Structure 1
Amino acid sequence: MQTTSKIILGLCAILLFNCKSAKTVRGGDANFNLSSKQVIKENAKQVAAFKTLQSKLKITYTQKGKSQTHTVNFRTKKDEAIWINAPFSVIRALVTPQKVSFYNKLDNTYFDGDYKYLSDLLGTELDFNKVQNLLLGETLYHLNASDYTTSVDNEAYIIQPKNQRALFEIFFLLNPSNFKVKSQQISQPKEFRHLQIDYLKYQHVDSQILPELIKVIAVESNNEMVVELEMKNVSLNEELRFPFKIPSGFEEIEL
Protein backbone atom coordinates (compact mmCIF):
# COMPACT_ATOMS: atom_id res chain seq x y z
CA MET A 1 0.00 0.00 0.00
CA GLN A 2 1.28 3.49 -0.81
CA THR A 3 2.80 5.55 2.02
CA THR A 4 0.15 8.24 1.51
CA SER A 5 -2.54 5.62 2.06
CA LYS A 6 -0.97 4.60 5.36
CA ILE A 7 -0.88 8.21 6.51
CA ILE A 8 -4.57 8.76 5.80
CA LEU A 9 -5.62 5.46 7.34
CA GLY A 10 -3.33 6.07 10.30
CA LEU A 11 -5.12 9.37 10.87
CA CYS A 12 -8.38 7.48 11.23
CA ALA A 13 -6.73 5.59 14.04
CA ILE A 14 -5.78 8.52 15.95
CA LEU A 15 -7.55 9.92 14.13
CA LEU A 16 -12.61 21.38 11.30
CA PHE A 17 -14.66 27.46 6.66
CA ASN A 18 -15.01 30.71 8.49
CA CYS A 19 -11.56 31.75 9.64
CA LYS A 20 -12.84 34.77 11.52
CA SER A 21 -14.87 32.55 13.86
CA ALA A 22 -11.79 30.65 15.12
CA LYS A 23 -9.69 32.14 17.91
CA THR A 24 -6.84 30.49 19.75
CA VAL A 25 -7.73 29.75 23.38
CA ARG A 26 -5.62 31.70 25.83
CA GLY A 27 -4.89 30.58 29.37
CA GLY A 28 -7.14 31.90 32.12
CA ASP A 29 -6.84 31.78 35.89
CA ALA A 30 -5.81 28.33 37.05
CA ASN A 31 -7.80 26.67 39.85
CA PHE A 32 -5.97 23.91 41.73
CA ASN A 33 -8.37 23.67 44.65
CA LEU A 34 -11.03 21.34 43.26
CA SER A 35 -11.85 17.78 44.26
CA SER A 36 -11.72 14.88 41.81
CA LYS A 37 -15.49 15.03 41.45
CA GLN A 38 -15.39 18.76 40.69
CA VAL A 39 -12.54 18.46 38.18
CA ILE A 40 -14.27 15.64 36.29
CA LYS A 41 -17.53 17.60 36.32
CA GLU A 42 -15.81 20.70 34.90
CA ASN A 43 -14.16 18.61 32.19
CA ALA A 44 -17.54 17.12 31.21
CA LYS A 45 -18.95 20.65 30.78
CA GLN A 46 -16.36 21.33 28.06
CA VAL A 47 -17.35 18.43 25.79
CA ALA A 48 -17.88 19.83 22.29
CA ALA A 49 -21.55 20.11 21.31
CA PHE A 50 -22.30 20.22 17.58
CA LYS A 51 -24.02 18.23 14.85
CA THR A 52 -21.43 18.49 12.08
CA LEU A 53 -17.90 19.79 11.77
CA GLN A 54 -15.74 20.58 8.74
CA SER A 55 -12.10 21.66 8.39
CA LYS A 56 -8.91 21.62 6.41
CA LEU A 57 -6.62 19.16 8.18
CA LYS A 58 -2.85 19.36 7.80
CA ILE A 59 -1.17 16.05 8.59
CA THR A 60 2.55 15.69 9.24
CA TYR A 61 3.63 12.08 9.56
CA THR A 62 7.09 11.07 10.76
CA GLN A 63 8.51 7.56 11.05
CA LYS A 64 12.04 6.18 10.81
CA GLY A 65 13.45 9.67 10.29
CA LYS A 66 11.28 10.45 7.27
CA SER A 67 8.44 12.99 7.22
CA GLN A 68 5.57 13.73 4.87
CA THR A 69 2.95 16.48 5.03
CA HIS A 70 -0.50 16.38 3.41
CA THR A 71 -3.62 18.54 3.67
CA VAL A 72 -7.02 16.87 3.41
CA ASN A 73 -10.68 17.76 3.81
CA PHE A 74 -12.02 16.55 7.13
CA ARG A 75 -15.70 16.20 8.08
CA THR A 76 -17.48 14.57 10.97
CA LYS A 77 -21.08 14.03 12.02
CA LYS A 78 -21.04 13.71 15.79
CA ASP A 79 -21.28 10.10 16.93
CA GLU A 80 -22.01 8.85 13.40
CA ALA A 81 -19.24 9.38 10.85
CA ILE A 82 -15.70 10.64 10.25
CA TRP A 83 -14.86 11.41 6.60
CA ILE A 84 -11.47 12.24 5.06
CA ASN A 85 -10.88 13.22 1.44
CA ALA A 86 -7.48 13.90 -0.17
CA PRO A 87 -7.16 16.34 -3.10
CA PHE A 88 -8.89 15.19 -6.31
CA SER A 89 -10.51 12.37 -4.27
CA VAL A 90 -7.42 10.27 -4.86
CA ILE A 91 -7.78 8.82 -1.36
CA ARG A 92 -10.99 8.74 0.65
CA ALA A 93 -11.86 7.22 4.03
CA LEU A 94 -15.08 6.80 6.00
CA VAL A 95 -15.09 5.72 9.64
CA THR A 96 -18.37 4.76 11.32
CA PRO A 97 -19.21 2.98 14.59
CA GLN A 98 -19.48 -0.23 12.57
CA LYS A 99 -16.33 -0.21 10.46
CA VAL A 100 -13.41 1.52 8.75
CA SER A 101 -13.55 1.93 4.95
CA PHE A 102 -10.92 3.31 2.64
CA TYR A 103 -9.90 3.38 -1.01
CA ASN A 104 -6.83 4.55 -2.92
CA LYS A 105 -6.99 5.48 -6.61
CA LEU A 106 -3.19 5.57 -6.80
CA ASP A 107 -3.00 1.79 -6.78
CA ASN A 108 -6.69 0.80 -7.20
CA THR A 109 -6.99 -0.82 -3.77
CA TYR A 110 -9.50 -0.62 -0.93
CA PHE A 111 -9.96 -1.67 2.68
CA ASP A 112 -13.33 -2.39 4.28
CA GLY A 113 -13.07 -3.88 7.76
CA ASP A 114 -12.94 -3.54 11.51
CA TYR A 115 -10.76 -1.54 13.91
CA LYS A 116 -8.07 -4.18 14.45
CA TYR A 117 -5.50 -2.56 12.17
CA LEU A 118 -6.04 0.84 13.75
CA SER A 119 -5.76 -0.66 17.23
CA ASP A 120 -2.54 -2.45 16.32
CA LEU A 121 -1.13 0.74 14.81
CA LEU A 122 -1.45 2.74 18.02
CA GLY A 123 -1.00 -0.14 20.43
CA THR A 124 -4.34 0.23 22.22
CA GLU A 125 -7.84 -1.04 21.53
CA LEU A 126 -9.84 1.50 19.53
CA ASP A 127 -13.43 1.97 18.52
CA PHE A 128 -15.36 4.84 16.91
CA ASN A 129 -15.87 6.74 20.17
CA LYS A 130 -12.18 6.64 21.05
CA VAL A 131 -11.14 7.86 17.60
CA GLN A 132 -13.72 10.66 17.79
CA ASN A 133 -12.63 11.63 21.30
CA LEU A 134 -8.99 11.72 20.24
CA LEU A 135 -9.74 14.16 17.43
CA LEU A 136 -12.00 16.38 19.55
CA GLY A 137 -9.78 16.65 22.61
CA GLU A 138 -11.87 14.43 24.86
CA THR A 139 -10.55 11.67 27.13
CA LEU A 140 -10.40 8.27 25.44
CA TYR A 141 -12.11 6.69 28.43
CA HIS A 142 -15.15 7.95 30.30
CA LEU A 143 -14.27 9.63 33.59
CA ASN A 144 -16.15 9.23 36.85
CA ALA A 145 -15.14 10.21 40.35
CA SER A 146 -15.75 6.76 41.82
CA ASP A 147 -13.08 5.14 39.63
CA TYR A 148 -10.52 7.94 39.21
CA THR A 149 -8.34 10.00 41.51
CA THR A 150 -6.90 13.48 40.95
CA SER A 151 -3.60 15.06 41.88
CA VAL A 152 -1.74 18.23 40.88
CA ASP A 153 1.69 18.30 39.28
CA ASN A 154 3.54 20.62 36.89
CA GLU A 155 0.63 23.05 36.50
CA ALA A 156 -1.91 20.40 35.53
CA TYR A 157 -4.51 18.15 37.08
CA ILE A 158 -3.47 14.51 36.73
CA ILE A 159 -6.34 12.05 36.59
CA GLN A 160 -5.68 8.33 36.81
CA PRO A 161 -7.59 5.18 37.80
CA LYS A 162 -7.66 4.52 41.54
CA ASN A 163 -6.54 1.00 40.73
CA GLN A 164 -3.99 1.11 37.94
CA ARG A 165 -3.54 -2.24 36.26
CA ALA A 166 0.02 -3.55 36.18
CA LEU A 167 -0.15 -4.24 32.46
CA PHE A 168 -2.09 -1.14 31.40
CA GLU A 169 -1.49 2.36 32.81
CA ILE A 170 -3.63 5.42 32.01
CA PHE A 171 -3.00 9.10 32.77
CA PHE A 172 -4.99 12.18 31.75
CA LEU A 173 -3.59 15.70 32.21
CA LEU A 174 -6.15 18.54 32.33
CA ASN A 175 -5.54 22.27 31.99
CA PRO A 176 -6.66 23.89 35.29
CA SER A 177 -7.80 27.08 33.53
CA ASN A 178 -10.31 25.52 31.10
CA PHE A 179 -10.31 21.82 32.12
CA LYS A 180 -9.60 20.63 28.58
CA VAL A 181 -7.23 17.73 28.02
CA LYS A 182 -3.54 18.73 27.79
CA SER A 183 -2.29 15.20 27.33
CA GLN A 184 -3.49 11.62 27.59
CA GLN A 185 -1.13 8.71 27.94
CA ILE A 186 -1.64 4.97 27.79
CA SER A 187 1.24 2.62 28.52
CA GLN A 188 1.72 -1.14 28.36
CA PRO A 189 5.16 -1.47 30.01
CA LYS A 190 5.45 -5.21 29.56
CA GLU A 191 4.76 -4.87 25.83
CA PHE A 192 7.04 -1.80 25.52
CA ARG A 193 4.10 0.19 24.13
CA HIS A 194 3.26 3.80 24.83
CA LEU A 195 0.64 6.09 23.29
CA GLN A 196 0.78 9.81 24.07
CA ILE A 197 -1.63 12.40 22.68
CA ASP A 198 -0.68 16.02 23.38
CA TYR A 199 -3.06 18.90 22.67
CA LEU A 200 -0.65 21.74 22.01
CA LYS A 201 -3.22 24.37 21.10
CA TYR A 202 -7.00 24.85 21.27
CA GLN A 203 -9.29 27.28 19.44
CA HIS A 204 -12.72 28.78 20.04
CA VAL A 205 -15.26 28.13 17.28
CA ASP A 206 -18.85 29.27 17.79
CA SER A 207 -18.54 29.04 21.59
CA GLN A 208 -16.96 25.58 21.41
CA ILE A 209 -13.39 24.76 22.45
CA LEU A 210 -11.81 22.51 19.83
CA PRO A 211 -8.27 21.29 19.19
CA GLU A 212 -6.12 23.30 16.81
CA LEU A 213 -2.85 21.37 17.07
CA ILE A 214 -2.55 17.74 18.18
CA LYS A 215 0.60 15.65 18.44
CA VAL A 216 0.28 11.87 18.60
CA ILE A 217 3.26 9.72 19.56
CA ALA A 218 2.99 5.94 19.32
CA VAL A 219 5.96 3.87 20.49
CA GLU A 220 6.38 0.11 20.31
CA SER A 221 9.77 -1.33 21.28
CA ASN A 222 12.26 0.78 19.31
CA ASN A 223 9.77 1.98 16.70
CA GLU A 224 8.22 5.44 17.01
CA MET A 225 5.50 7.03 14.88
CA VAL A 226 4.65 10.73 15.27
CA VAL A 227 1.59 12.36 13.68
CA GLU A 228 0.87 16.08 14.00
CA LEU A 229 -2.63 17.28 13.14
CA GLU A 230 -3.40 20.95 12.54
CA MET A 231 -7.08 21.82 12.17
CA LYS A 232 -7.72 24.99 10.18
CA ASN A 233 -10.75 26.87 8.81
CA VAL A 234 -13.19 25.17 11.14
CA SER A 235 -16.94 25.45 10.66
CA LEU A 236 -19.78 23.86 12.63
CA ASN A 237 -23.35 22.73 11.99
CA GLU A 238 -23.42 23.09 8.23
CA GLU A 239 -25.30 20.68 5.98
CA LEU A 240 -22.62 18.21 4.96
CA ARG A 241 -22.43 15.15 2.75
CA PHE A 242 -20.26 12.11 3.39
CA PRO A 243 -20.06 10.44 -0.03
CA PHE A 244 -18.25 7.14 -0.13
CA LYS A 245 -18.40 4.34 -2.68
CA ILE A 246 -15.64 1.88 -3.42
CA PRO A 247 -14.95 2.02 -7.19
CA SER A 248 -15.60 -1.14 -9.14
CA GLY A 249 -12.59 -3.23 -10.07
CA PHE A 250 -10.52 -2.21 -7.05
CA GLU A 251 -8.56 -4.91 -5.22
CA GLU A 252 -9.24 -5.52 -1.53
CA ILE A 253 -6.20 -5.32 0.72
CA GLU A 254 -5.58 -7.11 3.99
CA LEU A 255 -3.80 -5.18 6.72
Structure 2
Amino acid sequence: MKKNTLNSLLVIVLLFLTASCKTKKNVVNNPSKVIDEKVATNKTSENLRLLKSKDFSYSTLSLKAKADLSIDGNEMGVSMNVRMKKDEVIWISITAIAGLEVARAMITPDSLLVLSRLEGTALKKPFSYIYNFANRQITFRMLQSVLTGNTITEFMAEPASLTQEEGAFTLKGEKINLAYMIMFNNLLKPALVHLNDVRAGQALKVDYANYQLVDAVLFPSTVKVNSMSGKRKVNIVFDFSKIERNLPLDFPYTVPKRFEIIN
Protein backbone atom coordinates (compact mmCIF):
# COMPACT_ATOMS: atom_id res chain seq x y z
CA MET A 1 0.00 0.00 0.00
CA LYS A 2 2.79 2.38 0.91
CA LYS A 3 4.59 1.62 -2.34
CA ASN A 4 1.43 2.35 -4.34
CA THR A 5 1.06 5.71 -2.59
CA LEU A 6 4.66 6.61 -3.33
CA ASN A 7 4.25 5.63 -6.96
CA SER A 8 1.24 7.94 -7.21
CA LEU A 9 3.27 10.79 -5.71
CA LEU A 10 6.04 10.06 -8.18
CA VAL A 11 3.57 10.28 -11.05
CA ILE A 12 2.60 13.76 -9.84
CA VAL A 13 6.23 14.80 -9.60
CA LEU A 14 7.18 13.48 -13.03
CA LEU A 15 4.16 14.96 -14.74
CA PHE A 16 4.92 18.30 -13.14
CA LEU A 17 8.10 18.35 -15.15
CA THR A 18 6.05 18.71 -18.30
CA ALA A 19 4.87 22.14 -17.23
CA SER A 20 6.34 25.56 -17.80
CA CYS A 21 6.29 28.69 -15.65
CA LYS A 22 4.95 32.21 -15.29
CA THR A 23 4.91 35.34 -13.19
CA LYS A 24 2.12 37.88 -12.87
CA LYS A 25 2.86 40.15 -15.84
CA ASN A 26 0.85 41.43 -18.77
CA VAL A 27 -0.04 38.80 -21.34
CA VAL A 28 1.69 39.24 -24.69
CA ASN A 29 -0.81 39.02 -27.53
CA ASN A 30 0.01 36.46 -30.17
CA PRO A 31 0.60 38.43 -33.41
CA SER A 32 -0.97 37.41 -36.68
CA LYS A 33 2.48 37.26 -38.26
CA VAL A 34 5.85 36.04 -37.05
CA ILE A 35 7.48 38.79 -35.01
CA ASP A 36 11.00 37.95 -36.22
CA GLU A 37 12.03 38.97 -39.74
CA LYS A 38 14.86 36.46 -39.81
CA VAL A 39 12.66 33.51 -40.80
CA ALA A 40 14.31 31.75 -43.73
CA THR A 41 12.13 30.31 -46.47
CA ASN A 42 12.63 26.56 -46.98
CA LYS A 43 15.80 26.50 -44.87
CA THR A 44 15.15 24.01 -42.09
CA SER A 45 18.51 24.23 -40.34
CA GLU A 46 18.40 28.04 -40.15
CA ASN A 47 14.84 28.09 -38.83
CA LEU A 48 15.65 25.44 -36.23
CA ARG A 49 18.46 27.68 -35.01
CA LEU A 50 16.06 30.62 -34.95
CA LEU A 51 13.56 28.73 -32.77
CA LYS A 52 16.39 27.54 -30.53
CA SER A 53 17.57 31.14 -30.10
CA LYS A 54 14.30 31.95 -28.30
CA ASP A 55 15.34 29.72 -25.38
CA PHE A 56 16.52 31.46 -22.24
CA SER A 57 19.66 30.72 -20.28
CA TYR A 58 19.80 30.24 -16.51
CA SER A 59 21.97 28.71 -13.83
CA THR A 60 19.23 28.27 -11.19
CA LEU A 61 15.44 28.62 -11.10
CA SER A 62 13.00 28.97 -8.23
CA LEU A 63 9.27 28.53 -9.01
CA LYS A 64 6.04 28.59 -7.03
CA ALA A 65 2.76 27.20 -8.32
CA LYS A 66 -0.70 25.88 -7.60
CA ALA A 67 -1.89 22.84 -9.49
CA ASP A 68 -5.27 21.18 -9.98
CA LEU A 69 -4.76 17.46 -10.54
CA SER A 70 -7.00 14.71 -11.81
CA ILE A 71 -5.54 11.20 -11.53
CA ASP A 72 -7.80 8.46 -12.88
CA GLY A 73 -10.78 10.69 -12.09
CA ASN A 74 -9.66 11.57 -8.54
CA GLU A 75 -9.21 15.33 -8.17
CA MET A 76 -7.02 17.28 -5.77
CA GLY A 77 -5.38 20.68 -5.41
CA VAL A 78 -1.81 21.22 -4.24
CA SER A 79 0.88 23.89 -4.03
CA MET A 80 4.40 23.32 -5.32
CA ASN A 81 7.81 24.86 -4.76
CA VAL A 82 10.41 23.97 -7.36
CA ARG A 83 14.13 24.65 -7.39
CA MET A 84 16.46 23.79 -10.23
CA LYS A 85 20.17 23.87 -10.88
CA LYS A 86 20.76 23.45 -14.57
CA ASP A 87 21.89 19.98 -15.64
CA GLU A 88 22.28 18.91 -11.99
CA VAL A 89 19.12 18.76 -9.89
CA ILE A 90 15.37 19.41 -9.82
CA TRP A 91 13.97 19.72 -6.28
CA ILE A 92 10.19 19.74 -5.62
CA SER A 93 8.12 20.26 -2.48
CA ILE A 94 4.40 19.41 -2.65
CA THR A 95 2.12 21.05 -0.07
CA ALA A 96 -1.51 20.27 0.68
CA ILE A 97 -4.14 22.99 0.82
CA ALA A 98 -3.81 23.04 4.61
CA GLY A 99 -0.23 24.25 4.19
CA LEU A 100 1.48 21.04 5.29
CA GLU A 101 4.18 19.46 3.13
CA VAL A 102 3.04 16.01 2.03
CA ALA A 103 5.90 15.06 -0.29
CA ARG A 104 9.36 16.13 -1.34
CA ALA A 105 11.32 14.95 -4.36
CA MET A 106 14.78 15.37 -5.77
CA ILE A 107 15.63 14.36 -9.32
CA THR A 108 19.14 14.21 -10.74
CA PRO A 109 20.49 12.77 -14.00
CA ASP A 110 21.21 9.57 -12.03
CA SER A 111 18.50 9.23 -9.39
CA LEU A 112 14.91 9.78 -8.26
CA LEU A 113 14.14 10.37 -4.59
CA VAL A 114 10.58 10.81 -3.29
CA LEU A 115 9.75 11.40 0.38
CA SER A 116 6.17 10.82 1.63
CA ARG A 117 5.51 12.48 4.98
CA LEU A 118 1.98 11.05 5.03
CA GLU A 119 3.24 7.46 4.90
CA GLY A 120 6.59 7.92 6.62
CA THR A 121 8.34 6.34 3.65
CA ALA A 122 10.99 7.26 1.09
CA LEU A 123 11.40 5.93 -2.43
CA LYS A 124 14.94 5.70 -3.80
CA LYS A 125 15.34 4.71 -7.44
CA PRO A 126 17.73 5.24 -10.36
CA PHE A 127 16.65 7.77 -12.98
CA SER A 128 15.67 4.88 -15.24
CA TYR A 129 12.65 4.31 -12.98
CA ILE A 130 10.96 7.08 -14.95
CA TYR A 131 10.60 4.62 -17.81
CA ASN A 132 7.75 2.97 -15.91
CA PHE A 133 5.80 6.14 -16.73
CA ALA A 134 7.50 7.53 -19.83
CA ASN A 135 9.34 6.60 -23.02
CA ARG A 136 12.95 5.44 -22.71
CA GLN A 137 14.11 8.36 -24.85
CA ILE A 138 13.24 10.82 -22.05
CA THR A 139 16.35 12.35 -20.50
CA PHE A 140 16.98 14.67 -17.57
CA ARG A 141 17.83 17.51 -19.97
CA MET A 142 14.61 16.89 -21.89
CA LEU A 143 12.63 17.28 -18.66
CA GLN A 144 14.47 20.55 -18.00
CA SER A 145 13.62 21.84 -21.46
CA VAL A 146 9.91 21.10 -21.18
CA LEU A 147 9.75 22.57 -17.68
CA THR A 148 11.40 25.84 -18.70
CA GLY A 149 9.49 26.22 -21.97
CA ASN A 150 12.66 25.79 -24.01
CA THR A 151 13.01 23.77 -27.17
CA ILE A 152 13.97 20.12 -26.80
CA THR A 153 17.53 19.82 -28.10
CA GLU A 154 17.13 16.15 -29.03
CA PHE A 155 14.45 17.13 -31.58
CA MET A 156 15.98 20.32 -32.97
CA ALA A 157 17.98 18.82 -35.82
CA GLU A 158 17.39 17.34 -39.22
CA PRO A 159 16.00 14.96 -40.43
CA ALA A 160 13.09 16.30 -38.35
CA SER A 161 10.41 17.87 -40.52
CA LEU A 162 9.81 21.60 -40.02
CA THR A 163 6.92 23.17 -41.88
CA GLN A 164 5.43 26.65 -41.80
CA GLU A 165 1.82 27.70 -42.32
CA GLU A 166 0.56 31.25 -41.81
CA GLY A 167 3.76 32.09 -39.99
CA ALA A 168 3.53 29.23 -37.47
CA PHE A 169 6.06 26.41 -37.42
CA THR A 170 5.31 22.73 -36.81
CA LEU A 171 8.11 20.30 -35.99
CA LYS A 172 7.55 16.56 -36.49
CA GLY A 173 9.75 13.52 -36.24
CA GLU A 174 10.45 10.24 -34.49
CA LYS A 175 13.25 9.21 -32.15
CA ILE A 176 13.32 5.42 -32.07
CA ASN A 177 9.78 4.60 -30.78
CA LEU A 178 8.94 8.14 -29.65
CA ALA A 179 6.95 10.19 -32.16
CA TYR A 180 6.86 13.93 -31.47
CA MET A 181 5.05 16.98 -32.76
CA ILE A 182 5.75 20.50 -31.53
CA MET A 183 3.68 23.43 -32.74
CA PHE A 184 5.10 26.94 -32.31
CA ASN A 185 3.05 30.13 -32.19
CA ASN A 186 3.86 33.36 -34.01
CA LEU A 187 5.99 34.41 -31.05
CA LEU A 188 8.23 31.49 -32.05
CA LYS A 189 7.49 29.79 -28.72
CA PRO A 190 5.94 26.33 -28.17
CA ALA A 191 2.14 26.23 -28.23
CA LEU A 192 1.74 22.45 -28.17
CA VAL A 193 4.05 19.54 -27.38
CA HIS A 194 2.78 16.07 -28.22
CA LEU A 195 4.85 12.93 -27.47
CA ASN A 196 3.47 9.52 -28.39
CA ASP A 197 4.77 5.97 -27.96
CA VAL A 198 2.12 3.74 -29.51
CA ARG A 199 3.99 0.54 -28.78
CA ALA A 200 4.21 1.26 -25.05
CA GLY A 201 0.75 2.83 -24.81
CA GLN A 202 2.14 6.14 -23.54
CA ALA A 203 1.15 9.63 -24.68
CA LEU A 204 1.75 13.13 -23.40
CA LYS A 205 0.17 16.37 -24.55
CA VAL A 206 1.11 19.80 -23.17
CA ASP A 207 -0.73 22.99 -24.18
CA TYR A 208 0.94 26.38 -23.60
CA ALA A 209 -1.03 29.64 -23.80
CA ASN A 210 -1.14 33.28 -22.63
CA TYR A 211 2.57 34.05 -22.84
CA GLN A 212 3.88 36.75 -20.52
CA LEU A 213 7.01 38.86 -20.79
CA VAL A 214 9.25 38.38 -17.75
CA ASP A 215 12.67 40.04 -17.74
CA ALA A 216 12.48 40.27 -21.54
CA VAL A 217 11.79 36.51 -21.74
CA LEU A 218 8.48 34.88 -22.69
CA PHE A 219 6.79 32.32 -20.41
CA PRO A 220 3.36 30.68 -20.76
CA SER A 221 0.92 31.58 -17.99
CA THR A 222 -1.47 28.70 -18.75
CA VAL A 223 -0.22 25.14 -19.00
CA LYS A 224 -2.46 22.11 -19.44
CA VAL A 225 -1.05 18.60 -19.28
CA ASN A 226 -2.79 15.43 -20.42
CA SER A 227 -0.93 12.17 -19.86
CA MET A 228 -1.74 8.54 -20.50
CA SER A 229 0.39 5.55 -19.52
CA GLY A 230 -1.43 2.27 -19.98
CA LYS A 231 -4.77 2.64 -18.18
CA ARG A 232 -3.58 5.54 -16.00
CA LYS A 233 -4.77 8.99 -17.06
CA VAL A 234 -3.60 12.23 -15.50
CA ASN A 235 -4.75 15.77 -16.25
CA ILE A 236 -3.09 18.82 -14.70
CA VAL A 237 -3.70 22.57 -14.93
CA PHE A 238 -0.86 24.74 -13.61
CA ASP A 239 -1.00 28.29 -12.31
CA PHE A 240 2.44 29.71 -11.51
CA SER A 241 2.74 32.74 -9.28
CA LYS A 242 6.47 33.38 -9.03
CA ILE A 243 9.69 32.73 -10.90
CA GLU A 244 13.21 33.76 -9.91
CA ARG A 245 16.38 32.83 -11.72
CA ASN A 246 20.13 32.86 -11.14
CA LEU A 247 19.84 33.18 -7.35
CA PRO A 248 21.74 31.10 -4.77
CA LEU A 249 19.61 28.06 -3.86
CA ASP A 250 19.86 25.06 -1.59
CA PHE A 251 18.20 21.68 -2.12
CA PRO A 252 17.42 20.16 1.29
CA TYR A 253 16.55 16.48 1.28
CA THR A 254 16.96 14.45 4.47
CA VAL A 255 15.20 11.17 5.24
CA PRO A 256 14.20 10.99 8.94
CA LYS A 257 15.52 7.90 10.72
CA ARG A 258 12.01 6.65 11.45
CA PHE A 259 11.12 6.56 7.73
CA GLU A 260 11.01 3.28 5.82
CA ILE A 261 13.19 3.32 2.70
CA ILE A 262 11.73 1.58 -0.33
CA ASN A 263 14.32 0.67 -2.96
TM range, normalised to the smaller chain? Answer: 0.7 to 0.9
Counterpart in 1 of 2:164? Answer: 152
Please give the TM-score of this superposition, normalised by the length of structure 1. Answer: 0.83
Match for residue 201 of structure 1 among 210, 218, 228: 210
Aligned partner of 2:59: which letter? K
Aligned partner of 2:56: which letter? A
Using the TM superposition, give the Cα deviation of residue 45 of structure 1 relative to its aligned residue in structure 2, in angstroms.
0.9
**Mapped partners of 2:26, 2:85: distance in 1:** 22
Counterpart in 2 of 1:170? Answer: 180
Counterpart in 2 of 1:240? Answer: 249
1:40 is aligned to 2:48: yes
Counterpart in 2 of 1:218? Answer: 227
Could you give the per-residue CA deviations for residues 44-73 of structure 1, whole angstroms, max 9, x where no partner exists?
111121222212111221122221110121
Judging changes above 3 Å, is the alpha-carbon distance between structure 1 residues 94 and 27 closer, same or farther for their aligned structure 2 residues?
same
Could you give the per-residue CA deviations for residues 187-223 of structure 1, whole angstroms, max 9, x where no partner exists?
2234433221221333222122233322221224554
Judging changes above 3 Å, is the alpha-carbon distance between structure 1 residues 71 and 38 closer, same or farther for their aligned structure 2 residues?
same
1:103 is aligned to 2:106: no
- Between the aligned residues of both structures, percent identity stands at 22
Counterpart in 2 of 1:94? Answer: 106
Counterpart in 1 of 2:90? Answer: 82
Using the TM superposition, give the Cα deviation of residue 90 of structure 1 relative to its aligned residue in structure 2, in angstroms.
3.6
Aligned 8 A contact 1:139 1:184 in 2: no
Aligned 8 A contact 1:148 1:159 in 2: yes
**Mapped partners of 1:200, 1:3: distance in 2:** 34
Q: What is the aligned length?
A: 249
Could you give the per-residue CA deviations for residues 145-193 of structure 1, whole angstroms, max 9, x where no partner exists?
43222123587311123xx478442211111x22111111122234433
**Mapped partners of 1:73, 1:44: distance in 2:** 27
Aligned partner of 2:92: which letter? I
**Mapped partners of 1:77, 1:171: distance in 2:** 27
**Mapped partners of 2:126, 2:159: distance in 1:** 29
**Structure 1: 5+ residue runs without aligned partners?**
none
Aligned partner of 1:232: which letter? S
Please state whether the residue corresponding to 1:133 is helix, strand or coil. helix
Judging changes above 3 Å, is the alpha-carbon distance between structure 1 residues 109 and 173 closer, same or farther for their aligned structure 2 residues?
same
Counterpart in 2 of 1:9? Answer: 10
Counterpart in 2 of 1:27? Answer: 30
**Mapped partners of 1:166, 1:108: distance in 2:** 39
**Mapped partners of 2:206, 2:244: distance in 1:** 23
Counterpart in 1 of 2:67? Answer: 59
Aligned 8 A contact 1:84 1:94 in 2: yes
**Structure 2: 5+ residue runs without aligned partners?**
none
Aligned 8 A contact 2:40 2:46 in 1: no
CA RMSD of aligned residues (A): 2.9
1:72 is aligned to 2:84: no
**Mapped partners of 1:147, 1:173: distance in 2:** 17
Could you give the per-residue CA deviations for residues 110-147 of structure 1, whole angstroms, max 9, x where no partner exists?
01212334332245543311211121112345244432
